[in-house]
Chain A
Amino acid sequence: LAKTTQPISMDSYEGQEVNITCSHNNIATNDYITWYQQFPSQGPRFIIQGYKTKVTNEVASLFIPADRKSSTLSLPRVSLSDTAVYYCLVGGLTDKLIFGTGTRLQVFP
């Protein structure tokens, strides 16, 4: 299973764009990249998933370079409610997922 490395924490202000980068140098050919958001005392919430290039949905964008050794989650115009822990995971679609430390995002007014 690919190991992921993310910044431990990030700070931002409301209205700014936040980019969280995840390194996964040992990603396998059949691995997908999935990002989850977790609030305290809640289960992780699916944000976005991709395999290569760029994926966009109503809440975020995911940028994956050609070598797929890293990925960047982009949150446009964050608000206070985006304060949470964000996890980057890689693996096959139905494989077990090994969580890393995640990135604790703090959004200030």
Chain B
Amino acid sequence: GAVVSQHPSWVICKSGTSVKIECRSLDFQATTMFWYRQFPKQSLMLMATSNEGSKATYEQGVEKDKFLINHASLTLSTLTVTSAHPEDSSFYICSASGTSGTLTDTQYFGPGTRLTVL
């Protein structure tokens, strides 16, 4: 149990285009989802926290107009990188927390999405 998926697993786009990344909790309802970014050889950096049906809370320094987050249901959150530029190239990872059966509320992570902006 506690499986989180992301789609796509990798994406290459041209500078100036927008890219949408999906995060799904497959076997539990995620009351809260989190989005992280990870650069090579570095730790994960939290970008934002989203709760189903409400606006996301962004960490300091993260542009909310550039990284649009939608958490429309208890199993799906999306991150849209708008007008992507090469410096947005990174590994984007989502996590979800919720309760399913015997699972405690803890965070389970998706496999990540590699974004490369040319």
> Who on chain B is nearest to A102 by CB?
B43
**A99 pairs with B46, CB closer than 8 A:** yes
**B111 pairs with A42, CB closer than 8 A:** yes
Contact with A along B2-37 (1 / 0, CB 8 A): 101010000000000000000000000001101010
A102: which B residues are within 8 A, CB to CB? 43
Number of CB contacts from chain A to chain B under 8 A: 56
Distance in angstroms between the alpha carbons of A42 and B106 in the assembled complex: 18
**Stretch from A16-24, A43-51, A58-66, A67-75 contacting the other chain:** A43-51
Instruction: Report if A93-B105 is in contact (Cβ < 8 Å); known contacts: A41-B114, A42-B111.
Output: yes
**A96 pairs with B106, CB closer than 8 A:** no
A87 to chain B, nearest CB (A): 7
Residues of A in contact with B (beta carbons under 8 Å apart): 32, 34, 36, 41-46, 49, 87, 93-94, 96-102
Distance in angstroms between the alpha carbons of A87 and B46 in the assembled complex: 14
Among A36, A42, A98, contact of B112 (Cβ-Cβ < 8 Å): A42
Contact with A along B44-79 (1 / 0, CB 8 A): 111001000000000000000000000000000000
Distance in angstroms between the alpha carbons of A97 and B97 in the assembled complex: 11
Among B6, B46, B109, contact of A96 (Cβ-Cβ < 8 Å): B46
